[in-house]
Structure 1
Amino acid sequence: MPERPPPHPLEATIRKLERSSGALATQSVARMDETLPWFRSLPADQRSWITLVAQAGVAALTEWLRRPDEDPLEATGLVFGAAPRYLARAVTLQQVVAMVKVTVEVVEEQVPWIAAAGEERALKEAVLVFSREVAFAAAQVYARVAETRGAWDARLQALLVDTLLRGGDESADLLNSRAAALGWTDIAPVAVAIGGTPEADADEVLDSVTRAGRNAGIEILAGVHGGRLVVVFGGSSVSENVLKAASALLGEFGDGPVVVGHPVQDLGGAPASARAALAGIRAIPAWPTAPRPVAAADLLPERVLSGDEAARRELTSVYAELEAAGGGLIDTLTAYLDTGGALEAASRVLFVHSNTVRYRLRRIGEVCGLSPTVPRDAFSLRLALAFGRLDEPDL
C-alpha cells in the first residue's frame, strides 16, 4: 500500500481555525462596528458583503496554511473575489486597510485559543505575513478599479466635449447627464477655453490639465478634439475673473492663441461659450497681437469679418442699445469716428460744445460697455454702426 503523506505540521491548528472561521468573521465585523464610525453608516447590503469578505479572508488564511509554499498573493485573491466590484467604489482603500487591521487584531487575540499547544508563535507569524499580503491584494484591486475608472472617465469626457462642440437642442440634457456621471454637479458659472494641444500623449495632457485645475481650485472637464485642447472650467473664480481663471491653465495648452468663451450659468449653457471660443480661434489670425488668453468677446470685429453670425448679432444689439438710449449718441459716435477721433472737429460737425461731446462719449461707454476713445472698441463700434444701419428697415 502507498504510504500516507506525513501530517501537516500545523494540522491541529488548521482544523481549529476552520471551525472558528465563522465566529472570527462575526467578531471582526462587530469590532469594526464598535471602532470604525464610518462602518456604522454603511448600508446593510454593503455590511453583509464585508462580512463575507471577512469570512473569505479567514478561509484563504486556512488554505494558505495548508500550502505554505504557495504564493500568498494568489491565495488572497480569493478574499476580494467574494465582493462585488461596486464595493470598491463604496469603500475607500484607506477604509479597507482599517478593516484588515481590525480583523488581524481579532485573530491575534484568539491565537491562544485557536492554536494547538506549541503552535501559537507559528500561527501569529503566519497571520502577520498573510495580512500584509491581503493589504497588497487590496491595493491591486483598487489600482485596477482606478485604471478602469480612469479610462471610462477619459472616454466620457471625450464624449462630453464632442457634445459640447456639436451643440444642438438635446445637448444640454446630454451634457448634464454625462457630467453627473463624472461627479460634476452644481458647479457654476462655467466657461470654455480652446487652444492648441501640447506635444504629448492625450491622456497625459488631460491628467496635467486636471492637476493644474485642482491646484488652482478650479473644476475641470477637458478633451482633445483634433489638434485643439478644449477645457470646460467652473467655480467661483470664473465669476470673479474668467480670464484670470483661464490664465492658471495657460501652461497646459500648446503654442498659439487661447480663446476663452463668455461665462454661462451652468454646463447646459456651455455650448454657447464653446461656440464663441471656436469662432474666436478661427478669427484670431486677423489680430496677430492679441493677448493670451483673450476673451472671445474682445474678438467681435474679427469674428464678424470671418462670418460669425452670433458676433454680428451682438454688434447689431450695440447699435440698438445706443439708439434706444437717445441723447444724440448715434450722431455723436458717427461724427467722432468720421473725424478720426478729433474731439474739436466732432463738436464743430455737431454744432455743440466739446464738453458735450466728451459727456456723450462717456455715456456711450456706460450704455454699451465700449468706449469710442479706445482703438479696439472704436473698431467694434464702427462695425456696430454699419450693421445696425444695414438692418434698419428700408425707407
Structure 2
Amino acid sequence: MPEPETGKPDAPAQPAHPHTATLKRLEQSSGSLAAQAIARMDETLPWYRAMPPENRSWIGLVAQAGIAAFTEWFRRPDAPQAISTDVFGTAPRELTRAITLRQTVEMVRTTIEVMESAIDEVAAPGDESVLREALLVYAREIAFATAQVYAQAAEARGAWDARLESLVVNAVLSGEADEGAVSRAAALGWNSPEHVCVVLGTAPDGDSELTVEAIRRAARHAKLQVLTGVLGDRLVVIAGGRNDPLAVAKSLIGPFAQGPVVAGPVVPDLLAATRSAQAAAAGLKACTAWPDAPRPVLADDLLPERAIASDPSAREQLVEEIYRPLEEAGAALLETLSVYLEQASSLEGAARMLFVHPNTVRYRLRRVTDVTGWSPSDVRSAFTLRIALILGRLADGDPQL
C-alpha cells in the first residue's frame, strides 16, 4: 500500500559544502590543533607557564573554542555569528582581570600560527589557498572580538569604579566616612597618603565624566592622588600627597567653572577628610561675603566670614587659636590689640589711650603676631583678629557660644 501523505512539505535539502573534504579533515583535526596550540603557548609564553592551573585550563578551553568557532565559520562563512560569545563565552568574566589584553593577543596569535602551519596537512588537495584565506578573514574577526571583550570589560569596570568613587566622595562630604569608605577607596587605587585635603568649587556645564577626567589628568601632572566627583553643581576633589592645600588647589583649578574655589585644611587621612570637606563647604558658602577673595582661597582664610555665617567650627577655631592664646599670654596683649583696632590701627592713638610709648605698642603687636600668626597691621588679618576678640568675649560671657 502507498504511504499516507502527511500534508507537510519536505524540508529543503541543505546545499553541499563546496569543500566537504577539507571541512571533514578540519573537524577531525580540531582536537590535535588545540593540543598543539596549548603546547606552543607553554613553550613560548612565560606568563602562561607561570599561571595557576585553573587559569591555564580556562585558556585551553578558549583555544579549543577558537578552533571550533573557526570550523563553524568555515562551514557557514555567510551566517551571522557572534565570535566573542563562541570563543570567549567559555571562560569566566574574571579571566579578563587575570589575563591582560596583551597576553590575550599573544594567545590568539599563537593559536592562529599553529592553525596556519597546519593548513597543508588539513586542507584537501587544491583547497590550501581557500583555507588560508578563510583563516586570514577569521583572524581579523577574532581580533575584533578580542577588542570587544576587553572594551566591554573595561567599560563595566569603569562604571563600577565611578560608582565606588561617587560613594566615597559623598561619604566624605556628608560626614559619613568610615572604614567601608576607606576600603572602597583602596579598591580604586587610593594608597592612603599622609596629607589629605578637600577642594570644592562649581562644576562646569557639560559632561561630568569629561570634568572628572580633566581633574585626573591635572592630578597626574601634579603627582597627586585624587578621588573626585560632581555632586549636583559642585565639583569635589579629595587630594592626597602634599602638605600645602593652596598649592594643591592651584594645580587642580583648571577644570573648575568660574567662581570661588576653596581648599580645606590638610588632615592626616581619608577618615579625617570630612573635617577638611566641611571647612571647604562652609568657606564656599561664605565666600560671597568676601568678593575680593583670591582664587583659590583657603577655608581658614575665610574664618571670619564663616563665623558670621554661623559656622560653629570656625567660631571655635577663632576662639581657640586666637583669643585663648592671647588671653594666656597676658592681659596687656589683649588690651593693646583691642585698643589698637578701635583706634583705626593707629600706633600713636593706641599709645595715648594706653598711656605708653608707641614703641611699646609696636612691641606688643609683634607679640600678637607671634602668638596668633595674624598681623594686626594687615587689614585682612585685623578683621580676623577683631572677629576673634568679639567671639572670645561672647564665649567668656556665655560658655555655650
Match of 1:116, SS state, is coil
Match of 2:111, SS state, is helix
Q: Distance in 2 between matches of 1:262 and 1:285?
A: 20
Residue 395 of structure 2: which of 376, 391, 395 is its match? 391
Task: Tell me how far 1:2 sits from its aligned partner.
Answer: 10
Post-superposition CA distance 1:31-67 (Å, at most 9, x none) = 3344334434433322221111111111101111111
Task: Tell me how far 1:394 sits from its aligned partner.
Answer: 7.9
Post-superposition CA distance 1:136-194 (Å, at most 9, x none) = 011111222222222222322332232222214xx222321222232323234222111
Task: Tell me how far 1:279 sits from its aligned partner.
Answer: 0.4
Partner of 2:45 in structure 1? 36
Task: Tell me how far 1:275 sits from its aligned partner.
Answer: 0.5
Using a 3 Å threshold, how does the CA distance of structure 1 residues 254 and 74 change in structure 2: closer, same or farther?
same
2:299 equivalent to 1:299: no
Using a 3 Å threshold, how does the CA distance of structure 1 residues 163 and 3 change in structure 2: closer, same or farther?
closer
Match of 1:251, SS state, is coil
2:223 equivalent to 1:217: yes
Partner of 1:201 in structure 2? 207
The count of aligned residue pairs is 389
Partner of 1:78 in structure 2? 86
2:172 equivalent to 1:164: yes
2:315 equivalent to 1:312: yes
Match of 1:128, SS state, is helix
Post-superposition CA distance 1:45-102 (Å, at most 9, x none) = 222211111111111011111112234x624431011111121222222322222122
Partner of 2:5 in structure 1? none
Counterpart mapping for 1:175-254 below 5 A: 175-235=181-241, 238-239=242-243, 241-254=244-257
Asked whether the equivalents of residues 83 and 145 of structure 2 are also in contact (C-alpha less than 8 Å), the reply is: no
Residue 11 of structure 1: which of 20, 29, 35 is its match? 20
Q: Distance in 1 between matches of 2:347 and 2:50?
A: 74
Answer with 1 or 2: which has the greater Rg. 2
What TM-score, normalized to structure 2? 0.87
Mean CA deviation greater in 195-204 or 259-268: 195-204
Mean CA deviation greater in 58-67 or 257-266: 257-266
In structure 1, what residue type is equivalent to 2:200?
A: I
Post-superposition CA distance 1:361-381 (Å, at most 9, x none) = 333333332222221111111
Q: Distance in 2 between matches of 1:195 and 1:383?
A: 26
Using a 3 Å threshold, how does the CA distance of structure 1 residues 217 and 14 change in structure 2: closer, same or farther?
farther
Match of 1:341, SS state, is coil
Partner of 1:288 in structure 2? 291
Asked whether the equivalents of residues 60 and 76 of structure 1 are also in contact (C-alpha less than 8 Å), the reply is: no
Asked whether the equivalents of residues 192 and 270 of structure 2 are also in contact (C-alpha less than 8 Å), the reply is: no
Counterpart mapping for 1:131-150 below 5 A: 131-150=139-158
Post-superposition CA distance 1:88-127 (Å, at most 9, x none) = 2222223222221222222222333333333333323322
Task: Tell me how far 1:314 sits from its aligned partner.
Answer: 0.5
Asked whether the equivalents of residues 347 and 353 of structure 1 are also in contact (C-alpha less than 8 Å), the reply is: yes
Question: Matched residues, percent identical?
Answer: 52
Using a 3 Å threshold, how does the CA distance of structure 1 residues 69 and 194 change in structure 2: closer, same or farther?
same
Task: Tell me how far 1:257 sits from its aligned partner.
Answer: 1.1
Asked whether the equivalents of residues 76 and 133 of structure 1 are also in contact (C-alpha less than 8 Å), the reply is: no
Q: Distance in 2 between matches of 1:347 and 1:185?
A: 56
Asked whether the equivalents of residues 228 and 238 of structure 2 are also in contact (C-alpha less than 8 Å), the reply is: yes
Asked whether the equivalents of residues 194 and 260 of structure 1 are also in contact (C-alpha less than 8 Å), the reply is: yes
Using a 3 Å threshold, how does the CA distance of structure 1 residues 119 and 285 change in structure 2: closer, same or farther?
same
Q: Distance in 2 between matches of 1:104 and 1:3?
A: 36
Task: Tell me how far 1:312 sits from its aligned partner.
Answer: 0.5
Partner of 1:129 in structure 2? 137
Partner of 1:26 in structure 2? 35
Mean CA deviation greater in 117-126 or 378-387: 117-126
Asked whether the equivalents of residues 220 and 233 of structure 1 are also in contact (C-alpha less than 8 Å), the reply is: yes
2:343 equivalent to 1:339: yes
Using a 3 Å threshold, how does the CA distance of structure 1 residues 113 and 326 change in structure 2: closer, same or farther?
farther
